[in-house]
Amino acid sequence: MKVGIVGAGFVGAAAGYAMVLRNSCREIVFIDANKDKAEAEASDIQHATPVSHPVLVTAGNYEDLKGSKVIVVTAGVNQRPGENRLDLIGRNIDVFNSIIPQITAVEPDAVILIATNPVDLLTTVTERIANVRPGQVIGSGTTLDTARFRALVAEYVGIDAHHVHGYVVGEHGDSEVVAWSSATVAGISIAEYCAAMDIPWTQQIQNKITENIRSAAYSIIKGKGATYYGIGAVLANITERIVRDQRAILTVSGSNAQYPVALSLPRVVGGKGIIAEIGLSMNDEERKMLQSSAQVLSTALSKVQ
């Protein structure tokens, strides 16, 4: 199964590399305005296949996206130190107005997976530009934030992150909501688990983890200029769920009848993209925060429409 990656920068290259290491697909084609960069990344990643998985990695033009099951869009300008994700919208809408029509003209049936920030707003923009069926456009949304949530809780309580379950929803950004009220470790609440294991658990500890989730990108960008390994692995994970029609529950970004813009909620993701949206148990405070997060996104979008 073929996967296209539009944008051969840090995130696109990391996603392609992760797909090779995870054996997410059979073929990857990179597209970038800088053709030399796309060809160099494709060659470098291809050289990893003899010691990982037999994935064909090439660079090409938009016409080479034909036959792709998933097209991952990472093209656009990067977040600078001191910027939040919403600051990027004006600069990246122009990019999307150029590339999305070229994608749909070549492969109108592909699931389009958006990773470029601000991902929620650009998911909304892509839905409007592409004019494809509901669920065919997906934003990576808070899948990375959810992974960070699980990783940080697992680190604190000292277990494998696969046994931590919980979601970050809303904006992939400063207004995102950590749904602590429904988070569990081994099927019980985090507080119950900590009590059983004689591990301290206070509101201050919970607040610190929340802050670390929200500030992770800023800290990484300050230290090395960009984030790409984490999101690259997440994009590979989402891609293979679609390619293999695995019906995974992921906090991807998409439209919702209740909110005026795309945002992240737990959704069933499979071969056709977003297949269904499921509910999430939240307390009253978390529900209010989710409404506020939707309003933040709506306000930001209204400024560029």
Q: What is the pLDDT of residues 178-213, one digit of tens each?
A: 999 999 999 999 999 999 999 999 999 999 999 999
In contact, 164 and 143? CB cutoff 8 Å: no
Q: Cα separation of 71 and 112, whole Å?
A: 5
Which three-class secondary structure state does DSSP give residue 271?
Answer: coil
Residue-wise pLDDT tens digits, 33-52: 999 999 999 999 999 999 99
The model carries a pTM of 0.94
Residue entry with tokens 């019906």: 247
- List the chain domain ranges: 2-139
Q: Cα separation of 235 and 119, whole Å?
A: 13
Catalytic residue (choose from 47, 53, 163, 172): 172
Please report, for residues 119, 145, 172, the alpha-carbon distance to residue 284 in angstroms, rounded to integers and kept in the order given: 26, 21, 21
165 labelled catalytic: no
Architecture of the domain defined by 2-139: 3-Layer(aba) Sandwich (3.40)
Residue-wise pLDDT tens digits, 93-147: 888 999 999 999 999 999 999 999 999 999 999 999 999 999 999 999 999 999 9
Q: Cα separation of 113 and 273, whole Å?
A: 9
